[in-house]
Amino acid sequence: MLTLNPMNSSFNKFLTFKILILVLMISIFSTNFLFIERVDALSDSRQLVLDAWTLVNEGFYDPDKFDEIQWKRIRQKTLQKQIETSEEAYSAIEDMLRPLEDPYTRVLRPKDYELLKSSNFGSEINGVGLQLGIDDDSNKVKVVSTLGGSPAEEAGIVGGDFIEKVDGISSEELGLANTASKLRGESGTKVLVEISSESEENREIDLERRSVDLRPVRTKRLRDDSHTIGYLRITQFSESVPKKVEEALQELKEKEVEGLILDLRNNSGGLVSSGIAVADSLLSDKPVVETKDRNGIKDAITSQKETSFDGPMVTLVNKGTASASEILAGSLQDNDRSILMGEKTYGKGLIQSLKSLGENSGIAITVASYLTPKGNNIQGQGMTPDRLLDLPDATEYGSTDDKWVRNAELFLESLLEKGEVSVQHNELISEELTP
């Protein structure tokens, strides 16, 4: 008779237990491996969201806003969403940024990112030629200015008009960035835009997109029997503008101009660094601008001693003059380098930094506000000219029927006849100019 060895029985049970544990561990690790692969498949899209949050967290000019909206909790809640595609990532970023209540801090899909870079660094852009902002009072999408020779200008759209709908979709629903995006597109395609203004009923305009030549710097010489005046128009501040301005000023000096009309009407800005560089060419060892970022007010940026033109100046501005062009105009006004003539400016005193995200997309982040040399805050306020002009716009800026330019020309001639080089603002208020 055989008897069972209790040791062997216990050993067999232990061996069976080990095998069960091993099988269970293999099953768990296999499941985890599949789960890890699934997370990796989503990581690119989720990484876009996380990168956007980090860039804003590190650069946004008002960190106090983060506590108010519980910024870290927003990140956590956003990353819990289903984010499997790039488009879902962009939508999640838009939702994440909305509580900041800053329309200029925005995600840029690849097409919009490429178009924005083209407008800052290139010489032409495809679209309808509208430059947009947000109206502080109504929070509606507002036309800042139209580009010269663009479909929007030809259709009679002007600064101060509101964009109500684009292809039947409310601009309030779209927001600033998406409204601008829907207006851009390939040449030859059309877009239906509903426009409103304070003086007219809403109207629908069918605009055909095309390549718009930005021609950021334009110049000419104005002559009469006694004086020669230079006319310099800057339509926007792209990367190439400072060099082009230097070349234009040199050309005007060779033509022996005695005074300069700087035309910044409907210049909605662009690269702030370009606006500062142009101020550097016209000011001698003077403060240009102060920036206030998340760490407080920095030291003022000061111009170099040498200038490209030091004669008397008049600077033309209107309600389409914004951002970088307001920096330039403010520096000239506050340093008594040039009087401002025209309309109150738009009032965009916030500076954006453009950052790259993955998949050829980008994000614009408001990183600072700026102050004029005398400490004036332009955001939402605009700048008041020394001489207000209540005159109709010319069909072509700088043309012979441009009464704004004619006013500036007459004022400069009066200065030259008096032998004055600097301008005292208190003398301007009592002096009448011919329309």
**Domain with 26 in it: what CATH number?**
3.30.750
pLDDT at position 264, please? 95
Range of the domain at 169: 124-212
Residue 312 and residue 418 in one domain: yes
Question: Do 279 and 331 touch, CB atoms closer than 8 A?
Answer: yes
Residue 42 and residue 74 in one domain: yes
Q: Looking at 323, 325, 331, 369, which residue is catalytic?
A: 323
Q: Looking at 331, 348, 361, 402, which residue is catalytic?
A: 348
pLDDT means per 10 residues, the chain with 435 residues, are 41 46 42 38 79 96 95 95 92 96 91 75 66 78 81 88 93 82 85 88 91 81 87 91 95 93 90 93 94 82 92 93 93 96 92 88 93 90 93 81 93 83 40 37
Residue 369 and residue 264 in one domain: yes
pLDDT at position 432, please? 36
Is position 303 within any domain? Answer: yes
As beta bridge partners, residue 232 has 219, 262
Q: Is residue 348 flagged as an active site residue?
A: yes
- CATH number of the domain that residue 328 is part of: 3.90.226.10
pLDDT at position 372, please? 93
What single DSSP character describes residue 237? B
CA distance 112 to 126: 11
User: What single-letter amino acid sits at 3?
Assistant: T
Alpha carbons within 13 angstroms on the beta-carbon side of residue 105 total 24
pLDDT at position 119, please? 64
Residue 415 and residue 295 in one domain: yes
Count CB atoms within 10 A of the CB of residue 67. Answer: 9
Count CB atoms within 10 A of the CB of residue 375. Answer: 10
CA distance 13 to 146: 85
Is position 106 within any domain? Answer: no
Is position 301 within any domain? Answer: yes
Quote the longest CA-to-CA distance of the chain. Answer: 138
Is position 253 within any domain? Answer: yes
Is position 374 within any domain? Answer: yes
Is position 259 within any domain? Answer: yes
Structural domain count of the chain: 3
Residue 177 and residue 222 in one domain: no
Residue 280 and residue 385 in one domain: yes
3-state secondary structure of 254: helix
Nearest Cα neighbor of 104 from 78, 141, 138, 75 is 141
Residue 318 and residue 332 in one domain: yes
pLDDT at position 149, please? 77
Question: Do 200 and 229 touch, CB atoms closer than 8 A?
Answer: no
Domain boundary among 163, 186, 212: 212
Q: Is residue 325 flagged as an active site residue?
A: no
Alpha helices (H) along 99-239 = 110-121, 151-154, 171-183
Q: Is residue 196 flagged as an active site residue?
A: no
Is position 416 within any domain? Answer: yes
